[in-house]
Structure 1
């Protein structure tokens, strides 16, 4: 080892070689006749003593800071913040879902239908990802609204990742609750309740409600639900401002996984944005059953307010 007048000199020389002359730690070790491990320790010591002071001229992007704070504040496993554009929300949602499938290899993926979840459709259409494991995609609610459902894209995800699609080919709201006891429906609901990850939308009350727009729920029924302190719904299951489930007259007629299943799903991701979604999102996050959120920057900032 070369001789140094003091320890400070050694720290300064190592720091200069690494940060200014762009030597690798291995090259510094060989040059000074010390181990690579000691070089690493010297660099850490140089930072601790203030010999090395790192300054980043650019601030962190706002969306990244907000994502980190959402995760910390609400104990989320997934937080994605998109610009104020529904198409980009769909793009970010599709990329997040496909990345999760690729990295974590879930065997069961569930999707709920909603206008926001369906915004992923163009980006799933453009993707083709052969999964290296057995994977099934499930409808989490009945997939018919009238004769068809333009918001249901479970089949599209299954095609995009070459997975098996398990449909719930019945109306989401039935006249005769006994239909849920039919073997095929009962089996599909049971399997859907055991998914590893779910991507769903979130409904609000009032005139902006998708349930109202699709005529699944009348204005009179919506007013009744509001009198029961409902502030939002997920998979047609309603909840109050604390995120607690609310029993409603519709429950028996709904073809959807129930609250017990929703609360057991390991990764339950909500895709929602807009002023009308802030109140139900705040309530759901309070309830503690949301573990992932994909939203816009303005909505995210309102949630953190």
Structure 2
């Protein structure tokens, strides 16, 4: 399959996924169509393509076979509505390119819809890479709303803010949250949250079809501290109270319980609550993020995941 362009490669990947679901998991074409988000006729064509390209013998002859098995195990273990495991095991860069491509495919699926869609977006390096991997689109009917502020306490803008970048990429309406991630006092946070602009964004977040979020570890050198959003003493405080991960600034313990107190009482980000009817997706990979990903899935803070093979295996082993 060397020499294939990006579109041809993506189509073969999709054909492999459809073939796996059809032949290995025994799903009907209608079930596959609903799971992948395409028409039944497209499922038929993809399965036929998998046969033509000899992806199917007595086993699935494609590099995604191991990924698809991990996806199924993660879906079953954590009752996920969406799961994408991408090939690769790099630890040094947390496989951001691969995870970004996987997240971009999911974003593209939401944004390809003709009916207006509201997406709530977090921040982080993996999501910034996802936006970079997105094709340019014109989707003025959609709305992109930010889940977290983008300013440090000293006034610097976050380099990992994603909502504005994504909205610009797809020409959608953008609703950023131009507030400090953490305010100096609780009174200041209350004043910020009482502003009309904040209330508008809160309403849009509540009605969003999906929350797309990065996920971070909580330890010395973690982005939340290294990028200047919290102090060393504030980091030490949540670590002592058992924090293992954070999503949009909110820290949580190994059971997936969101913590409170300390700087969290001054956090302006939209509340982090268990996922119910909407898709709540986290994108991230790397050994350091395994406890955070496992906790987020265990506590239902996320019901969808994009990660890589090594991370998927580690999360399942830890679970």
1:29 is aligned to none
1:128 is aligned to 136
Alpha carbons 2:280, 2:304 under 8 Å: kept:
yes
Q: Deviations over 1:122-171 (max 9, x none)?
A: 213xx22233x831100001122342221012122212332110111112
| Pair 1:142 & 2:149 matched | yes
2:299 is aligned to 287
1:173 is aligned to 182
Bigger CA radius of gyration: 1
1:14 is aligned to none
The structural deviation recorded for 1:105 is 4.8
Q: Deviations over 1:201-248 (max 9, x none)?
A: 112111241111112122222111122222111111121111012112
Counterparts of 2:114 and 2:283, CA distance in 1: 20
1:275 is aligned to 287
Q: Specify which of 87, 98, 101 is matched with residue 88 of structure 1.
A: 98
The structural deviation recorded for 1:72 is 1.7
| Pair 1:56 & 2:58 matched | yes
Alpha carbons 2:230, 2:263 under 8 Å: kept:
no
Structure 1 residues 265 and 228 mapped into 2: Cα distance closer, same or farther (>3 Å)? farther
The structural deviation recorded for 1:199 is 1.0
Alpha carbons 1:106, 1:197 under 8 Å: kept:
no
1:74 is aligned to 78
Name whichever of 293-302 and 61-70 sits farther off: 61-70
| Pair 1:217 & 2:226 matched | no
Counterparts of 1:186 and 1:179, CA distance in 2: 9
Name whichever of 161-170 and 185-194 sits farther off: 185-194
1:21 is aligned to none
Question: Structure 2 length normalisation: TM-score?
Answer: 0.72
1:1-16 maps to which residues of 2 (within 5 A)? none
Alpha carbons 2:234, 2:263 under 8 Å: kept:
no
Counterparts of 1:104 and 1:69, CA distance in 2: 33
2:41 is aligned to none
Alpha carbons 2:212, 2:281 under 8 Å: kept:
yes
1:101 is aligned to 111
| Pair 1:115 & 2:122 matched | no
Alpha carbons 1:201, 1:270 under 8 Å: kept:
yes
Unmatched 5+ stretches in structure 2: 1-55
Counterparts of 2:76 and 2:129, CA distance in 1: 27
Counterparts of 2:175 and 2:209, CA distance in 1: 15
